[in-house]
Amino acid sequence: MQSDLVFPVSSTASYPLLGWLFCACGERFCQWGSPDSTREYLSVCGCRLRPIDADAIERRVRAEAALAAPTLAGRWSADPIEVLTRLYSRIEVGGTVADVRFVARE
C-alpha cells in the first residue's frame, strides 16, 4: 500500500540516504513526510512500527563516514552521494538509529 506521502523515487537533495537505507529484513526505506512536516524515512515492511527521523539517521551515517574516511568527511555537505558510493553498498537499520550496520563497498 502506498499513500501520497510515500515517494520511493530518489530525492537526494532533501533525502540523501534514499536508496542506501534498508531494514534488516532487506526492505528499502522510502522518504516520508509526517503531518507535522518532519522529514523521516519509512520502511513499509512492518518490522518497524515508526519511521526514522531523517536528521538523526543522517547525522549517524555522516559520523560513521567521517570515522571510516576522514578525507571524505568534508565532501558530505557538497555531495553525500559521492561519499556514500565510495564507502558503502548499503546501510541496514535495525530497531533503533543506534542499531545500524554499514555494509562496506567491495
pLDDT in tens, 19-73: 999 999 999 999 987 667 789 999 988 888 889 999 999 999 989 988 888 887 7
Look at residue 89 and tell me whether its pLDDT is greater than 90.
yes
Q: What is the mean pLDDT of residues 5-14?
A: 50
Instruction: Supply the pLDDT for residue 102.
Output: 94
The cell for 70 is 576522514
Beta-carbon-side half-sphere exposure of residue 53 (alpha carbons within 13 Å): 8
Shortest CA distance to 53 belongs to which of 72, 66, 34?
34
Q: What is the mean pLDDT of residues 87-105?
A: 90
Shortest CA distance to 23 belongs to which of 58, 53, 48, 56?
48
Instruction: Supply the pLDDT for residue 34.
Output: 65
Would you place residue 13 in the very low, low, confident or very high pLDDT band (cuts 50, 70, 90)? low
d(CA 48, CA 44): 8
- Strand 21-23 and strand 88-93: the pairing is parallel
Please check whether residue 41 is in contact with residue 15, taking contact to mean a CB–CB distance below 8 angstroms: yes
Look at residue 16 and tell me whether its pLDDT is greater than 60.
yes
Q: Where are the domains of the chain?
A: 6-104
At CB < 8 A and 24+ separation, what contacts does 33-37 make?
Answer: 33/5
Look at residue 2 and tell me whether its pLDDT is greater than 60.
no
